[in-house]
Every structure is written in C-alpha cells, then in structure tokens.
Amino acid sequence: MLDARMKGWRRHLSLPGKPDFSWPKLKIALFVDGCFWHGHDCGRNLTPQTNIEEWRGKIKGNRRRDRQVDRELRRRNWSVVRIWECELRKNPRHCLRRIKRIMTIKRNLKGT
C-alpha cells in the first residue's frame, strides 16, 4: 500500500461532476475515470457485446459531460485532474506524483 501523505482532501463536495477527491483549499478536483464508462481506448477490449449503439451513445454522452464539467470547474479556477482506471492500476506511483506536482504548483501560486 502506498502512503501518499496528501492531506486536506474531501469527498462528496457539491461541485460539478462530483469529483472522486478534492482539495478545496487548493481548488483541485480529481476524477478517477473508468475506462469503459468514459471511453478510454487503452486496449483492454472494453467493447460492449450487446446494445452496442446504446452503449456508444451513453459513453459519448459521458465524454461530452466530462468536457463540460472540466470547463465549468476551470471557469471557477479549479484545477482538474483526470486519471484513467488502467493508469492507476498499472502505475499508482506515477498518478500520485502527478497529483502532488499539481498540489505543489497550486501551493506556490497561492503563496505569491
């Protein structure tokens, strides 16, 4: 298990898109997107076998909503981090470094 030592995170904040984790003081919203539900082309062969057109429409709508949520959060001066489920599985340390890098940037900006 990784000890990320990231403090100040919250869940279930009333924000667009309902981020999986957020750091309100730094205005960082983190989404961990499921490869199937958000249409990631990661090679995991996640093509639906039934109701293909219905699923394509649903996934396309999810991706459109993700873009709208990102725009709205950025309009509110939040940084948006999206991590793919497969990326988190394969390389959790990389994902943590990415989050920590953004946290450092935001802290530095806040201090100026």
Containing structural domain, residue 58: 21-111
Task: Tell me whether residue 64 is in a domain.
Answer: yes
Per-residue pLDDT of the chain (112 residues; tens, 9 = 90+): 445 667 777 777 889 999 999 999 999 999 999 999 999 988 776 778 889 899 999 999 999 999 999 999 999 999 999 999 999 999 999 999 999 999 999 999 877 5
Residue 45 domain flag: yes
Query: Is residue 68 a part of any domain in this protein?
Result: yes
CA-CA distances (angstroms) from residue 91 to 7, 67, 96?
21, 25, 9
* Count of domains for the chain: 1
Backbone angles phi, psi at 85, to 5 degrees: -55, -40
pTM equals 0.87
Let me know if residue 58 belongs to a domain: yes
Amino acid identity for residue 15 in this structure: L
CATH code (residue 92): 3.40.960.10
In a domain, 16, yes or no: no
